[in-house]
């Protein structure tokens, strides 16, 4: 199943409670991400309409979450590109429907002004936690020097579920299931090294 830009924009506008008077500006922000080559595989060339799969919709929704927390579009794209395997792992956990998965990350809208720090390959920018793990870890996270003074959480489960709902709003429950199957297939492909 594939979706048009108009369908994706409408669903993401609903997901982010975009006012009807701001829809044009919102569409332009999505087009800016697309011009930057995000998500990968959507840019089809000049004169040909973009075609989005479930994985593209969710990747855009996640990038918009990061932007909502103060990341620049370029920083959000960089984090998402760096975190493809991590995102696939989170989506794989979500599509199992066994637990609510939260995304933990450090909001850092001032990173371009700060002293550059060596990137630690063991510290992924996006980490996936169950709600219980998040509650247990908040005390630890807020008291470690490497974490800084800020942490942010959002529900990956909620983002994925709402994307599926808004993308299949006027369709059948089978279409909703196909959305999840397509998303899970993408995640499994990444994790199995097929793509």
Bridge-based pairing state of the strands 152-155 and 127-130: unpaired
The phi and psi torsions of 107 (rounded to 5 degrees) equal: -70, 130
Percent of the chain predicted with pLDDT > 70: 81
Three-class secondary structure of residue 42 per DSSP: coil
What residues does 130 pair with on adjacent strands?
A: 101
The per-residue pLDDT of the chain, averaged, comes to 83
The predicted pLDDT at position 162 comes to 93
Q: Tell me if 11 sits within 8 A of 163, measured CB to CB.
A: yes
Question: pLDDT tens digits for 74-86?
Answer: 989 998 998 999 9
The predicted pLDDT at position 96 comes to 76
Q: How far apart are the first and last CA of the chain?
A: 19
């Amino acid at each position: 199943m594939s979706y048009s830009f108009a369908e994706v924009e409408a669903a993401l506008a609903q997901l982010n409670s975009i006012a009807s008077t701001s829809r044009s500006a919102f569409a332009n922000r999505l087009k800016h991400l697309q011009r930057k080559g995000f998500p990968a595989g959507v840019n089809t060339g000049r004169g040909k309409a973009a075609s989005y799969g479930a994985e593209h919709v969710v990747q855009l929704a996640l990038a918009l979450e990061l932007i909502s927390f103060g990341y620049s579009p370029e920083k959000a794209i960089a984090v998402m590109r760096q975190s493809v395997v991590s995102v696939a792992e989170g989506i794989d956990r979500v599509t199992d429907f066994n637990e609510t998965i939260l995304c933990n990350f450090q909001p850092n809208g001032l990173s371009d002004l700060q002293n550059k720090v060596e990137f630690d390959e063991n510290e992924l920018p996006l980490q996936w936690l169950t709600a219980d793990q998040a509650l247990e870890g908040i005390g630890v996270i807020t008291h470690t020097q490497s974490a800084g003074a800020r942490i942010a959480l959002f529900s990956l489960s909620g983002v994925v579920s709402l994307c599926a709902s808004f993308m299949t709003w006027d369709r059948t429950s089978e279409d909703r299931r196909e959305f999840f199957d397509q998303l899970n297939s993408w995640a499994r492909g990444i994790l199995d090294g097929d793509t």
